[in-house]
Amino acid sequence: MNLGLYIHIPFCKQKCLYCDFPSYPHMEGLYESYTDALCREITGQGVLFSTNQVDTIYIGGGTPTALPAPLLLRIVTAVKENFAVTTDAEVSIEANPGTVDGDTLTALRAVGINRISFGVQTFSDTLLKRLGRIHTGEEGANAVRIAKRAGFSNINIDLMYGLPLQQAEHFQQSLQIAYDLAIPHISVYGLKIEDETPFACSLAQGKLSLPSEEEEETMYDRGVTYLPQHGYERYEISNYSRPGFSCRHNLKYWHYAPYLGLGAAAHSFINRERLANTQDVRAYLECINSGCSPVEHREIADEATQMAEFCFLALRTNSGISYHAFYQYFDKDFYQKYEQQITSLTARGWLQQPDNQ
Amino acid sequence: MNTSHIRNFSIIAHIDHGKSTLADRLLEFTGALSAREMENQVLDQMDLERERGITIKAQAVRLSYTAKNGETYMLNLIDTPGHVDFTYEVSRSLAACEGALLIVDAAQGIEAQTLANVYLALEHNLEIIPIINKIDLPSAEPERVKQEIEDVIGLDTSGAVLISAKTGFGIEEVLEAIVTKIPPPQSDRNKPLKALIFDSHFDSYKGVIANVRVMDGCIRPGMKILMMATEKKFEVAEVGIFRPSMSSIAEIGPGEVGYIAASIKNVKDTRVGDTVTEIDNPASEPLPGYRKVTPMVYCGLYPVDSVEYDSLRDALDKLKLNDASLAYEPETSMALGFGFRCGFLGLLHMDVIQERLEREYNLTLITTAPSVIFKVFKTNGEILEIDNPSKLPVVQEIEHIEEPYVKATIIVPNDLVGAVMELSQEKRGEYKDMKYLDVTRVTITYHLPLSEIIYDYFDRLKSSTRGYASLDYELIGYQQSELVKLDILLNGEPVDALSVIVHRDKATYRGRLLAEKLKDIIPRQMFEIPIQAAIGNKVIARETVRAMRKDVLAKCYGGDISRKRKLLEKQKEGKKRMKQVGNVEVPQEAFMAILKMD
């Protein structure tokens, strides 16, 4: 089976107030050595997976484009030299609109990166400021234009709803701007206040004015109706795309396909096992440089949990659960295994069974 | 012992006026227990009693006191339950005595509960010794309280004893007053045995232990006895006294108090108020005043987990061994499955039983809102007694409904009379009487539906009078009322366990309130849940529990699906404390929501 590669760049210019992902600002001094270590890990893992074809690569963060272009080029080159990357592979990179310029994007495109994902979040300056983002709305739109000029046709932007002070109208405007920019892929995420973030702290102190649930739902509903009306298919609960532009790498997460994570805090799913590298950048460097494994957690779930994962992940996508894929994977009949649940959920109208599956 | 040296007495007091503390001091002073052995409030044996500061079961202790005149007396202290639920038990305990200590808090004065019990004691011609307690408090006003006792009850307070049970001040004076003022029992050893059962409890080694006061004759081991009301016969295995621990003796003589054990398996056979006599030489008639106690308040008890049904039945069986007033029978609810409909003497009794089931028997229960017994007169002439609102016949078959009424006596400072009247009026009360106890305090009498009392009358009374009001009530009979059944529908399905019977005028208001309350209690689920309140087919209120927030819509970074999985696990965990009613998960509190509405 083809393999997906996830490469984590745990750096950013400034931590957003809602973010609890493993990403760290003010680590410019480690950019060089992190790239070295990452390339070593890529080389080492490449040997182990030499028989696999790699058809998707996703460079995520943090802000991968926080790294200077030459370092990014080294990473991509290392991957290509050590893994069997297919010619039509989807190669994505995440970027912060405040960290890109035409030259960098042209260079990235030239090295084979063919998909770019901007964390735009919203086009409203007031809201962006409130989120602690480093860019303006106009910079967000401009990043998309620069990417297009640099030769990217497969572009995503992330949009968020449920932001502090956000109203349904703001969100609607952002959707409209995204549509007007002819962006082929849009991810729409709801803001979730995670523990131990500055937002969680403000919320506890009563200083964060979040939209009411009703308003939040209104925004959600706007996204769910606006985008399909404008030619975007909702192929996963948070992801919308023009035909042919769904993100093949992310679909691997939902389709229970294998992926290998590289870099600090990267997660892998290989041979039914879930692995996670240490989140601590310095610990990661130490492990790699001393020839140890950076893997901190590994778990093979029992089969019942695996099946449950298979189902709930698949149900996030519009293609749903595949009877055949389930059978192939677990050697079990889906209908027999979940007869009771299927009956009860179907009766409630929550589950549908198309004739052809 | 010669009856002239016996004194039988009980203590009458309002909650917190110091009854248990005084009892402790009396035990301590007479050496029944050394100070070192004393655990505060020895007589309140159950943990629950100690925690709540109330007495649920009557206790009897024998003390030996050498008075100032040099003579030694046998004092039998019969502790009485101090709650309105147990009025009958109190009356039987008083019937076993010749005198009573009336404890009144020197700062608080007389309360409704005290008054009710004093009247009971006077009915039994008891000699009452006023004791003014807590005179060490800075706010103590013993003279005012004495005056109040004279004005309200008409007792001579010239001999009132001023004490502080807490510090031990005045305890000897109390004992002297008991000896000099309370008359000795008028009992005759040569008459046929007559002994009054004033309490009983189950002991796993000896069977039922009945506390008795011998009126005439005496009881000895080996004697064949007859319970005159239940007509059960037993052979006495052991007699004894509490000092306060159990110790067996050769006989309980005339005028004395003690316990009997006779291999009795069930407390039902030793009913409080029954008369014990000797089979070979029976008394011609029983002692007066016996009645069979009947539950006043009913509710459904259901195990959250249906596998606990058998354990619940066993636990109820065990509690019943000790508590003849507890009634229960199996019941099935569409919503809650298999459980029991249980009858209690009152709300406190209900609370205590529930708490014991959960605490001592480790059960997790769902309790439905308490209900009284309604008498339903059907158009076909049939009369039904309904203890479960869901069993009310359809409107077309009902000619009229009657509900139990109580006479409620409320004592309150005079500036709060307005609040009490307003509340009582709102609760469908009929004003009966108002009297000034003294210049500042008033006693008000209302006739009120019992269902309003168990609904929230007492809590509201306490809050609208800043805790100053005290309440006592007694059942006076049934009256016709315009009652309707209020149903609750969740997701379009009626939930039988949430039905209540309410007055027609209040149905809409309560329906709306209940729907609102349930909206807050029922957690969001995967779908929208309409909550409707309906009378018959007419929906009078509607609320909606919105569907669950779509937490899964947050970003999933870099293939880390663990957060998504945690959400599912969290959901699963939350379901454990819920009862599945149709498609809807309903938490326990929902079934009591009707009682907790402001």
Long-range contacts of A255-259 (CB under 8 A, 24+ apart): A255/A313, A255/A314, A255/A317, A255/A325, A256/A309, A256/A310, A256/A313, A256/A314, A256/A325, A256/A329, A257/A1, A257/A2, A257/A4, A258/A1, A258/A3, A258/A4, A259/A3, A259/A4, A259/A5, A259/A6, A259/A56, A259/B559
Closest residue in B to A252 (Cα–Cα): B559
Which B residues 440-499 touch A at CB under 8 Å? Answer: none
Asked if B550 and A259 come within 8 Å (Cβ–Cβ), the reply is no
Encode B253-264: b = buried (16+ Cβ within 10 Å), e = exposed: bbbbbbbbbbeb
Q: Closest by alpha carbon to A164, among A25, A17, A22?
A: A17
Q: Which of A217, A313, A348 sits opposite B561 (nearest CB)?
A: A313
Provide the token pair at B11.
């203590």
Q: Closest by alpha carbon to B194, among B85, B304, B108, B275?
A: B275
Q: Closest by alpha carbon to B436, among B109, B143, B130, B148?
A: B148
Backbone angles phi, psi at B174, to 5 degrees: -65, -45
A302 touches B: beta carbon within 8 Å: no
pLDDT at B56: 47
Beta bridge partners of B531: B490, B543
Residue bearing tokens 């208001």:
B509
How far is the C-alpha of B146 from the C-alpha of A302, rounded, in Å?
77
Q: Which of B553, B558, B583 sits opposite A261 (nearest CB)?
A: B558
A contacts of B550 (beta carbons < 8 Å)? 190, 220, 237
Task: Give CA torsion, residues A249, A251, A254, A256, to 10 deg.
Answer: -60
Instruction: Give the minimum alpha-carbon distance from B565 to chain A in angstroms, rounded to a whole number.
Output: 7
A contacts of B560 (beta carbons < 8 Å)? 267, 276
pLDDT at B193: 96
pLDDT at A260: 97
Asked if B555 and A187 come within 8 Å (Cβ–Cβ), the reply is yes
Residue ranges of chain B whose pLDDT lies below 70: 33-58, 82-84, 550-551, 573-577, 595-598
CB B461 within 8 A of CB B471: yes
A contacts of B545 (beta carbons < 8 Å)? none
* Percentages of chain A per state (helix, strand, coil), in multiples of 5: 45, 20, 35
Instruction: Give the minimum alpha-carbon distance from A348 to chain B in angstroms, rounded to a whole number.
Output: 9
How far is the C-alpha of A116 from the C-alpha of A183, rounded, in Å?
11
Report whether the peptide linkage leading into residue A62 is cis, meaning its omega lies within 30 degrees of zero. Answer: yes
> How far from B430 is each of A241, B58, B346, B447, B501, CA to CA, in Å?
72, 34, 22, 5, 20
CB A35 within 8 A of CB A71: yes
Q: Closest by alpha carbon to B105, among B35, B13, B192?
A: B13
Output DSSP code: residue B497: G
How far is the C-alpha of B391 from the C-alpha of B300, rounded, in Å?
12
pLDDT by residue (tens digit) across A18-30?
998 889 999 999 9
Asked if B559 and A276 come within 8 Å (Cβ–Cβ), the reply is no
How far is the C-alpha of A85 from the C-alpha of B550, rounded, in Å?
37
Provide the token pair at A111.
């090295």
CB A66 within 8 A of CB A134: no
Name the amino acid, one letter, at A168. A
How far is the C-alpha of A136 from the C-alpha of A122, rounded, in Å?
9
Q: Which of A60, A252, A350 sits opposite B557 (nearest CB)?
A: A60
Strands B365-367 and B233-235: unpaired
Radius of gyration of chain A (CA): 21
> Strand, helix or coil at B529?
strand
B550 touches A: beta carbon within 8 Å: yes
Name the amino acid, one letter, at B181. K
CB B223 within 8 A of CB B262: no
If you count them, how many residues does chain A have? 357
B524 touches A: beta carbon within 8 Å: no
Q: Closest by alpha carbon to B366, among B395, B400, B393, B342?
A: B342
Asked if A269 and B559 come within 8 Å (Cβ–Cβ), the reply is yes
**First-to-last C-alpha distance (Å) of chain A:** 22
Residue bearing tokens 């003589």:
B253
Asked if B555 and A213 come within 8 Å (Cβ–Cβ), the reply is no
How far is the C-alpha of B129 from the C-alpha of B245, rounded, in Å?
27
Which A residues 172-231 touch B at CB under 8 Å? Answer: 187-192, 213, 216-217, 220
Output DSSP code: residue B428: T
How far is the C-alpha of A7 from the C-alpha of A58, rounded, in Å?
6
Provide the token pair at A280.
């601590």
How far is the C-alpha of B79 from the C-alpha of B65, rounded, in Å?
18
A contacts of B553 (beta carbons < 8 Å)? 188-190, 220, 237-238
Output DSSP code: residue B169: B
A contacts of B523 (beta carbons < 8 Å)? none
Closest residue in B to A269 (Cα–Cα): B559
User: Residue A3 CB: number of other CB atoms within 10 A?
Assistant: 22
Report whether the peptide linkage leading into residue B389 is cis, meaning its omega lies within 30 degrees of zero. Answer: no
pLDDT at B138: 93
* Percentages of chain B per state (helix, strand, coil), in multiples of 5: 30, 35, 35
Beta bridge partners of A93: A59, A116
Provide the token pair at B424.
């009582």
CB A55 within 8 A of CB A2: yes
Q: Closest by alpha carbon to A255, among A299, A316, A304, A188?
A: A316
B395 touches A: beta carbon within 8 Å: no
A266 touches B: beta carbon within 8 Å: yes
Asked if A8 and B558 come within 8 Å (Cβ–Cβ), the reply is yes
Q: Closest by alpha carbon to B41, among B179, B259, B244, B211?
A: B244
Q: Which of B527, B552, B559 sits opposite A261 (nearest CB)?
A: B559
Provide the token pair at A130.
């409130």
Q: Which of A267, A309, A312 sits opposite B559 (nearest CB)?
A: A267
CB B275 within 8 A of CB B286: yes
pLDDT at B482: 93
Q: What residues contact A307, with CB distance under 8 A and at least 6 apart?
A: A326, A330, A332, A337
How far is the C-alpha of A50 from the C-alpha of A3, rounded, in Å?
11
Output DSSP code: residue B37: T
Radius of gyration of chain B (CA): 27
Instruction: Give the minimum alpha-carbon distance from B536 to chain A in angstroms, rounded to a whole number.
Output: 27
Q: Which of A188, A253, A348 sits opposite B556 (nearest CB)?
A: A253
Q: Closest by alpha carbon to A159, among A227, A258, A106, A91?
A: A227
B555 touches A: beta carbon within 8 Å: yes
pLDDT at B47: 57
Closest residue in A to B583 (Cα–Cα): A348
B572 touches A: beta carbon within 8 Å: no
Q: Closest by alpha carbon to B471, among B531, B402, B536, B416?
A: B416
B549 touches A: beta carbon within 8 Å: yes
Which A residues 69-128 touch B at CB under 8 Å? Answer: none
Q: Which of B552, B559, B562 sits opposite A6 (nearest CB)?
A: B559
Q: Which of A21, A158, A213 sits opposite B549 (nearest CB)?
A: A213
A253 touches B: beta carbon within 8 Å: yes
Provide the token pair at B122.
């006077």
CB A262 within 8 A of CB A276: no
Task: Give CA torsion, residues B416, B420, B425, B427, to 10 deg.
Answer: 150
Asked if B554 and A192 come within 8 Å (Cβ–Cβ), the reply is yes
Asked if B526 and A267 come within 8 Å (Cβ–Cβ), the reply is no
Strands B430-436 and B374-378: unpaired
- One digit per residue, the tens of pLDDT, for chain A of length 357 reads 799 999 999 999 999 999 988 899 999 999 999 999 999 999 999 999 989 999 999 999 889 999 999 999 999 999 999 999 999 999 999 999 988 899 999 999 999 999 999 999 999 999 999 999 999 999 999 999 999 999 999 999 999 999 999 999 999 999 999 999 999 999 999 998 888 899 999 999 988 999 988 899 899 999 999 999 999 999 999 999 999 999 999 999 999 999 999 999 999 999 999 999 999 999 999 999 999 999 999 999 999 999 999 999 999 999 999 999 999 999 999 999 999 889 988 888 888 887 655
> How far from B58 is each of A69, A177, B78, B88, CA to CA, in Å?
88, 80, 7, 12
B557 touches A: beta carbon within 8 Å: yes
> Strand, helix or coil at B89?
helix
B479 CA to centre of own chain: 24
> How far from B86 is each of A152, B81, B294, B319, B472, CA to CA, in Å?
85, 6, 11, 17, 11
B440 CA to centre of own chain: 30
Residue bearing tokens 């860019």:
A135
